[in-house]
Amino acid sequence: MENAKKNSAITSRDADFAQWYTDVCRKAKLMDYSSVKGFIDYLPYGYAIWEEIQNYLNKRFKENGAENVYLPLVIPMSLFNIEKEHVEGFAPEALIATHGGGKELDDPLVIRPTSEILFSELFKHTISSYRDLPIRYNQWCNVVRWEKTTRPFLRGSEFLWQEGHCLFVSREEAEENVRRMLDVYDDLGRDLLAIPFLKGRKTKHETFAGAVATYTIEALMHDGKALQSGTTHYLGTGFAEAYGINYLGKNNALEVPHQTSWGVSTRLLGAIIMVHGDDNGLSLPPLVAPIQVVIIPIRQQEPGVLEACRSIEEVLKTKGIRVKVDDDDGHTPGWKFAEYEMKGIPLRIEVGPRDLAAGNAVLTKRVNGEKITASIAQIEERIPSLLNEIHRDMYEKASKFLAEHIYDAESIEELKNGLEKGGYVRMAYCGEEECELAIKEITGGGTARCIYKEIDDGHVCPICGKPAHIVAYFAKAY
């Protein structure tokens, strides 16, 4: 019974959300800590979720003309220092290698925190004519940003991500790419993760170091805090100019291309945990769940029970469903129920002698505990549609939660009140960096997550009193 105790030892969300999060990460065996702070071990159960995200995105990227490549882990310091804004943004978090092969390096190497510089270098010597454009590259890789405070998946010194890097002849094409890839990320939320995102442009203050414009998808966690879950950047021609990328245009004149970049990371695992999880543990959307259906025999020593479980398993496998029978007789069915709830398996099937006699099995949805008695003969047809239904249930539940946590504020006082309740607060302000910093200070951490709309309707900024140009979604964020 030691294990049963372990299961019940997940801290409740309301008691301590941070501890609840860590408990779920550890007890569901998504990850483990390594001996270096901020560097984690992705265990099979966590990594498999990331692989499903990769599969979905690789398909969507390909549809949008992107090709996978792989560029180096390291950036020479001399190259790193060229684009000023970008350096300022990333230098403070850099991990720097100074020795290789027993010697001190002449030019130290920055472990890539992101690869705009490396792609710019590649583009510089691979494009020469407008015929070489557009270029749409993507890479899956690890990046390193030396962080002071770290949390599994949410903020690590190393994380896994994809970064798209593209070049276009015109600003219009580049901006179209940036919007389209943001839509792909939004689709990923709706179609795969069952997570509704707020989608929009970042304010000037929150724009990526070196970009002209940044777009974001923002998710709302159960504790009312926002999680930036993916970004796309229109980089303009700044990197191209700094790194000397140009090409011979149609009119035989040298032109500078327009650049974009876009990425999502293993941070999405944190979003899945904190959007869908509850006091019983993880709750996984069916399409990313490493195990979609668990079958638990009741009184498994009685004749026919295990055989029925195995035959359901076989049938579901042929349908491409990820299914597992747990016939370990060292644990009670009750222990198993708790265990697989904690691991967030979307659907549980129980088969016991009494159900079996009636030709039935009992199905339980993880998302809401709903129980369904289903005929075993029809289970093959039933399960795929039930998994779709569970996906919809989860998306609707999260969408309702999001809708219920969006407030409007006309003053700093109302903004503070809204942020106290948790969620997003829409408020008009001038749009300037100084006022955003003041708002963050006054509200104890409220930041502009993205722009709701631009206005010119007589509103004034509650900080500086000048005309308000922007209504932004403010929230406290991870």
List of residues contacting a copy of itself (CB under 8 A): 32, 34-36, 39-44, 47-48, 50-51, 67-74, 76, 79, 91-102, 109, 111, 118, 121-122, 125-126, 137, 141-142, 144, 146-148, 157-158, 160
- Shortest CB 74 distance to a copy of itself, Å: 6
In the complex with a copy of itself, the residue whose CB is nearer, 19 or 129, is 129
Are 410 and 441 within 8 A, CB to CB? no
Q: Which is closer to a copy of itself, CB of 259 or CB of 280? A: 259
Q: Which is nearer to a copy of itself, 20 or 137 (CB)?
A: 137
- The CB-of-182 to a copy of itself minimum distance in angstroms stands at 23
Least separation in angstroms between CB 269 and a copy of itself: 12
* SS3 track for 276-332: HCECCECCCCCCCCCCCEEEEECCCCCCCHHHHHHHHHHHHHHCCCCEEECCCCCCC
CB closer to a copy of itself, 99 vs 354 = 99
Element (H, E) at 160: strand 158-168
Q: Which residues pair with 141 in a beta bridge?
A: 161
Least distance from a copy of itself to the Cβ atom of residue 29, Å: 9
Return the closest-CA partner of residue 27 out of 50, 5, 6, 49: 6
Q: From the CB of 151, what's the least distance to a copy of itself, in Å?
A: 16
Which amino acid, residue 371?
K
In sequence order, the β-bridge partners of residue 262 are 164, 232
How far apart CA 455 and CA 32 sit, in angstroms, is 47
Nearer Cβ to a copy of itself, position 68 or 332?
68
> What is the Cα–Cα distance from 232 to 217, expressed in whole angstroms?
9
Pick between residue 103 and residue 456 the one whose CB is nearest to a copy of itself.
Answer: 103
Nearest to a copy of itself of 97, 358 (CB atom): 97
| Residue 207 beta carbon to a copy of itself: minimum distance, rounded to whole angstroms | 23
Compare residues 92 and 458 and give the one whose CB is closer to a copy of itself. 92
Q: How far is the CB of 300 from a copy of itself (least distance, A)?
A: 19
Q: Which of 147, 180, 4, 158 minimizes the C-alpha distance to 73? A: 158
3-state class of 258 per DSSP?
strand
Provide CB contacts within 8 A for 5, sequence distance 6+.
none
Cα separation, 247 vs 126, whole angstroms = 10
Q: Closest separation between CB of residue 137 and a copy of itself, Å?
A: 7
d(CA 118, CA 121): 5
